[in-house]
Structure formats: structure tokens, C-alpha cells
Amino acid sequence: MLLVYCPYCDVERAETEFSCRGQAHISRPSDPSQTSDEDWVNYLYMRANTKGVYAERWRHIHGCGRFFNAVRDTVSDKFLKFYKAGEPMPDLEALAKEAGK
């Protein structure tokens, strides 16, 4: 079981207190009627599914209930960074280098 840090509550808790909501920083097309089928497919279904350093959304469902983002290495499952929703995606390559990957 992973230990997850909630940047809003400023606490580290067991994974069972949280819900993982998949790849982060995927934004909904801003003008749906002008969006091509390809762009809808990319938005709805295509995922990076990275083997390595990955930014994903988590939600503190049994705590504050808020969404936040985390960077995790999907091979070792180690978290490299937690940050609040709305903050820009960190430089994943730099984080990977820092973690010695």
C-alpha cells in the first residue's frame, strides 16, 4: 500500500484514503463543436500509460475531498512530487533525473 501526501490537508495518509483518477493535465476541448473526432478520441480515450515518471490525479475522498496531482514512477511506484490542482505540470525529466532514473 502506498503512502499519499495531501497538499491541502498537509498530511501523509494510507492509499485507501485516496482515489487515483488517472493521467493529469488532460484538458477538455474548449470548443466542443469545433473539435475534430481525432481530438475527441485523444481527450476521451488515449492515455500516455508511461512506464516511468508519470503525472496523475489523486483525490482525497476520505479527507478533504479535493483533487490534487502527483508525480510517480510507475516502475517503482515511488512518489516524486505532490502538488495542488491548477499548478503547472513539473518538469518530469528533471524529476526523473533527480530521483536517479
Partner 1 sequence: MKRYSFLELAKNAFSAHQNWGRQWRSPEPKAEYDVVIVGAGGHGLATAYYLAKQHGIRNVAVIEKGWLGGGNTGRNTTIVRSNYLWEESAALYNHAIGLWQGLSQDLNYNVMYSSRGVMMLAHTVHDVQVAQRHIHANRLAGVQNEWLTPEQAREYCPPLNISKNIRYPVMGAALQRVGGTARHDAVAWGYARGADDLGVDIIQNCAVTGIKRGQDGAVEGVETSKGFIKAKKIGVVAAGHTSTVMDMAGVRMPLESYPLQALVSEPVKPAFPCVVMSNTIHAYISQSDKGELVIGAGTDQFISYSQTGGIHITNHTIDAICELFPHFRRMRMLRNWGGIVDVTPDRSPILSKTPVPGLYVNCGWGTGGFKATPGSGHVFAHTIAKDEPHRINAPFTIDRFRTGRLIDEAAAAAVAH
Task: Identify the residue among 15, 87, 93, 98 touching partner 1 (CB under 8 A).
Answer: 15
Backbone dihedral region for residue 28 (phi beyond 0: left; psi -120 to 50: alpha; all else: beta): beta
Q: Which is nearer to partner 1, 42 or 85 (CB)?
A: 42
Contact 55, 90 (CB under 8 A): yes
Question: Segment near partner 1 (CB under 8 A), from 5-13, 24-32, 41-49, 85-93?
Answer: 41-49
Task: Identify the residue among 11, 22, 84, 98 touching partner 1 (CB under 8 A).
Answer: 22
Q: Is 19 in the site for partner 1 (CB under 8 A)?
A: yes
CA distance 47 to 22: 9
- Quote the least distance from Cβ 55 to partner 1, whole Å: 12
CA distance 40 to 21: 19
